[in-house]
Amino acid sequence: MASKKPTGAEIRKTFLDFFEEHGHTFVASASLVPGGDQTLLFTNAGMVQFKDVFLGTDKRPYKRATDSQKCMRVAGKHNDLEDVGRDSIHHTFFEMLGNWSFGDYYKKEAITWAWQLLTDVWGLPKENIWSTVFRDDKGNIPQDDEAAEAWRGQPGMNPAHVLYFGRKDNFWEMAETGPCGPCSEIHLDRGLKYCDKQGVPGHICQVNGDCQRFLELWNLVFIQYNRLSPTELEPLPAKHVDTGMGFERIVSVLQDVDSNYRTDLLWPLILTTQKLAGYSDEQREANFTPFRVIADHARAAAFLIADGVVPGNLGRNYVTRMIIRRAYRFGGKIGLCEPFLAKVAEVVINHYGDFYPELKRNRKSINISITREEEQFQRTLDRATTQLEDLLNKLGKSRQTILPGDQAADLYTTYGMPFEITRDIARERGFDVDETGFNQAMEEHRLASGAGKAMGDLGGEEVEIYRQVVMDLQSQGSLSEIGVVYDPYSRLDVSGKLLSMVRDGHPIQMANPGDELEVILPETCFYVESGGQVSDTGTIRDVGDTWEIEVKDMRKPAAGVIVHVGNVISGKPQVGDEAIASVDTQRRRDIMRNHTATHLLHAVLRKVLGDHARQAGSLVAPDRLRFDFTHPEAVTPPQLTQIEAGVNQHILGDYQLKITYKPLEQAIAEGAMALFGEKYTETVRTITIGGDKPFSYELCGGTHVNETGDIGICLLTSEGSVAAGIRRIEAVTGRKAYEIIRSRFAKSAQAASLVGSTPDNLPEKIVSVLDELNSLRKQVSALRQNQVAAEFVLKLQETRMVDGVRVIATRLSDADMDTLRQMADRFRQQYPTHSVAVLGSVKDGRPSIIAAVTEDLIARGLNAVELVKFVAAPLGGAGGGRPTLAQAGGKDASQLEMALGKVEAWVKENIHP
């Protein structure tokens, strides 16, 4: 029997263990939402969380790291969506295994360890391994003989398997400028039977020959240059190693299967889908593409939602929407027409939940979000497809092959049909879609599909200025090694020398009143905006009180650099002056109350609504707090009351906040709440509230009150929706809450005095005033009716006899339809036979008419409906009813008298003897 194949989980562990044994620190995967990087849609490689280390703006407590990073390559520079479903080695979501050196070991060690892991530990046949190294096709950058030699020196490496390639394959750059360097890829020859291009003209079966025979497993990047311009490179003082291995790919190799989808990572998802579809194995193999797409997309959707990216209309949220909808459509191809994807995602949670516990924690919201999204799409997919088919038929008839972008955009805005699906369908029928035109049209709809730049502008220049300033200060010994000492927690005043001032991007020695500038002190106690909490404001003065700077904002332009942003109020500050910086204490206290209240709110929300309610953004300002969270529907008024009461109960509990520092991993393992898109350091600050039985435990660098009682009170002021699946609650605390209460008190006192009551009795008083008003209204209307009745009695004298029939046609003043009907009834009671009445009135400019004909006259050819129509016609009206009683309205009241005048003639004309 063949030896047992390792599981995916074991393979991941072997990789991480191997590097830990070689002195690397395990670092947890960063979120799919890149921390503090607005320019990048998703984490698309292991290096994203270490970018700042390479740039020199961040430092880590370790020099060697190893990780397994969650990646998404579905937009921007790295977009593999079109390969998903088509090949067996690209996914939208995948894991990248990596080992890292930050200014520590370099090429030789990286290559040696890669070789050892692949050949000794995993036993891959040495003769099948190939490596590529850099040789500049432009001839400017030295070729990487160092790496080539390291490769050739590996025991058993065939020197002929070390190949040189140019910039496209073997030179790695993060952006237009910045850290970069040659890279070395490791490819595995899986044998000729894997070549999917045999017989394709021009195909050469070799490394980078673009067939599936040579599988790119691992990329080792050697960062040794800093790019200054398109033609200038300078060597970096520190050299780094950044490697990325495709986890699914190595698992396919070690489990000896021909596709990533047949590894134990994805196969269970395929089997689940098969079962749902009721397919036999043969049917599955004959129609494999939908299975691949569904497995890939279900996994990506589960991981995205676990990282807080719920389906929506914009940016990242759009991607989640698109992949769920795309999977749903592919489900249709194998007969799945009801929402099913959550069942596949459930398998993802069960298989990946141990290594990525965020999946388990968000089981419910993954399930709800996916199912809702499918349900929503289910309603419009058919109509969208029909419409698209029509458009394509038209195109075909006019011999065109490209669907205009605005039509694709219409399909999205009208039916929620994502561009990618429109393109899928179009391509299945031999058409293509104008993507540029689509993006333009969507831009006009302000619904950009969210393709972000892979790496954005890193603001290199500004970083440079401050790095220079800090290096100068450090070499003079006036600034500590770590830069500005930051302690917003223990005090609100700090004194020190005014170290540096920057105005308009240039350092200055002296400033004048009115100058806008940025000030560096050796230490600061001003909070710098982060985690939703706004920056502190305050003042900086010199000890002798000759000048004053008002601080309006705080910034951290580069690692170790914290600047106070403000302007000179008076005097002439000079570099070297002894200064005192003071935070605006009252404002800061307000902020602290709101921040702690935010934690209480978060905890209570989850208790009342469920664990799926997670923070999706927040603002902690002095005058209010704002909390966005994932929740599929509006929070009901009773729930809101319960939430507010819960928060205030925690406030009254007067719990002491417990603040401790601990390793990130430990905190996460203990269940601390972390935020999306927030970047955490190795050691994190945690806030626990609730004494012996904590109810709130969050990672947080913000400033907080000492005891919850300091918050005073918390009032929820609004609840609403910000995006699909995301709700927002706003609240106030402390002074602001008091202000609101005070003003409501004043208003209720004012209202009470207006109605001659007290605030406590106000509701009863209002009820009694309303009652009185009601009964007065009734009296008025009764009086009005009496008045009309009296008038009617007088008018009855106007009755005329026409052929033995009593006819009255008259106008009553200011009566509504109800009153007219009562009068007609009265008439019929008084004259039960041989009688016809037409009563008209004009109220608020609009005429009403009622006609009554006694029963006996029907046989003689009179009919109330015809009569009322006859009268209403000249008034531009129509009517209806029964033969004995009918009513009508009209537009032109001026014709009423005239029309009534013709009733007698009508009776004469229509009556049979």
Binding residues (CB under 6 A) for ligand ATP: these are 45, 73, 80, 90-91, 94, 96, 216-219, 244-246, 248-249
User: What DSSP assignment string belongs to 242-284?
Assistant: EEEEEHHHHHHHHTT-SSGGGSTTTHHHHHHHHHHHT--HHHH
Nearer residue to ligand ATP within complex by CB, 82 or 545: 82
Cα 668–670–674 angle (5° rounding)?
Answer: 35
Nearer residue to ligand ATP within complex by CB, 45 or 549: 45
Closest CA to 865 of 881, 850, 854, 878: 881
State the minimum distance, in angstroms, from the CB of residue 88 to ligand ATP.
10
Nearer residue to ligand ATP within complex by CB, 121 or 878: 121
Nearer residue to ligand ATP within complex by CB, 219 or 376: 219
State the minimum distance, in angstroms, from the CB of residue 78 to ligand ATP.
6
Length of the chain: 913
Query: How far lies 641's CA from each of 621, 637, 645, in Å?
Result: 23, 6, 6
Q: Contact, 464 vs 541, CB < 8 A?
A: no
Nearer residue to ligand ATP within complex by CB, 219 or 524: 219
Tokens of 133: 């190294």
Nearer residue to ligand ATP within complex by CB, 149 or 173: 173
Nearer residue to ligand ATP within complex by CB, 90 or 811: 90
State the minimum distance, in angstroms, from the CB of residue 246 to ligand ATP.
2
Q: Which DSSP letter does residue 217 get?
A: E
State the minimum distance, in angstroms, from the CB of residue 360 to ligand ATP.
24
Angstrom distance (rounded) from CA 143 to CA 325: 47
Beta strands in 73-120 (DSSP E): 74-75, 78-79, 93-102
Tokens of 131: 């490596």
Q: Contact, 863 vs 880, CB < 8 A?
A: no
Q: Contact, 280 vs 262, CB < 8 A?
A: no
Cα 767–772–773 angle (5° rounding)?
Answer: 95
Nearer residue to ligand ATP within complex by CB, 300 or 441: 300
State the minimum distance, in angstroms, from the CB of residue 637 to ligand ATP.
47
Nearer residue to ligand ATP within complex by CB, 250 or 600: 250
Angstrom distance (rounded) from CA 581 to CA 547: 12
Nearer residue to ligand ATP within complex by CB, 144 or 536: 144
State the minimum distance, in angstroms, from the CB of residue 29 to ligand ATP.
14
Q: Which amino acid is it at 73?
A: R
Nearer residue to ligand ATP within complex by CB, 41 or 381: 41
Which residues, 6+ apart, have CB-to-CB distance to 52 below 8 Å?
Answer: 58, 559
State the minimum distance, in angstroms, from the CB of residue 80 to ligand ATP.
4
Q: Give me the phi and psi of 47, to 5 degrees please.
A: -75, -15
Nearer residue to ligand ATP within complex by CB, 262 or 846: 262
Which residues, 6+ apart, have CB-to-CB distance to 512 below 8 Å?
Answer: 568, 572
State the minimum distance, in angstroms, from the CB of residue 220 to ligand ATP.
9
State the minimum distance, in angstroms, from the CB of residue 81 to ligand ATP.
9
State the minimum distance, in angstroms, from the CB of residue 521 to ligand ATP.
43
State the minimum distance, in angstroms, from the CB of residue 83 to ligand ATP.
7
Pair type for strands 885-889 and 846-853: antiparallel
Nearer residue to ligand ATP within complex by CB, 97 or 441: 97
Cα 693–696–698 angle (5° rounding)?
Answer: 135
Nearer residue to ligand ATP within complex by CB, 79 or 757: 79
Angstrom distance (rounded) from CA 906 to CA 862: 9
* Backbone φ/ψ region at 156: left (φ over 0), alpha (ψ -120 to 50), beta: left
- Report the residue closest to ligand ATP, judged by CB: 246
State the minimum distance, in angstroms, from the CB of residue 45 to ligand ATP.
6
State the minimum distance, in angstroms, from the CB of residue 250 to ligand ATP.
8
Nearer residue to ligand ATP within complex by CB, 42 or 94: 94
- The DSSP element (H or E) to which 804 belongs, if any, is none
Q: Contact, 655 vs 707, CB < 8 A?
A: yes
Angstrom distance (rounded) from CA 97 to CA 84: 20
Tokens of 733: 């605390």
Tell the residue number behind the tokens 């959550």, with chain if given. Answer: 342
Q: Contact, 885 vs 827, CB < 8 A?
A: no
Angstrom distance (rounded) from CA 729 to CA 739: 19
State the minimum distance, in angstroms, from the CB of residue 427 to ligand ATP.
20
Query: How far lies 617's CA from each of 72, 259, 309, in Å?
Result: 22, 39, 12
State the minimum distance, in angstroms, from the CB of residue 452 to ligand ATP.
17
State the minimum distance, in angstroms, from the CB of residue 18 to ligand ATP.
17
State the minimum distance, in angstroms, from the CB of residue 49 to ligand ATP.
15
Angstrom distance (rounded) from CA 673 to CA 675: 7
Nearer residue to ligand ATP within complex by CB, 219 or 255: 219
Nearer residue to ligand ATP within complex by CB, 219 or 686: 219
Query: What own/partner pairs with CB < 8 Å and gap ≥ 24 does 584-589 have?
Result: 584/536, 584/537, 584/538, 584/539, 585/492, 587/536, 587/537, 587/622, 588/492, 588/527, 588/536, 588/622, 588/703, 589/705, 589/734
Angstrom distance (rounded) from CA 490 to CA 482: 19
Closest CA to 328 of 235, 421, 257: 421
Q: Contact, 154 vs 115, CB < 8 A?
A: yes
State the minimum distance, in angstroms, from the CB of residue 198 to ligand ATP.
20
Nearer residue to ligand ATP within complex by CB, 249 or 541: 249
Angstrom distance (rounded) from CA 766 to CA 751: 10
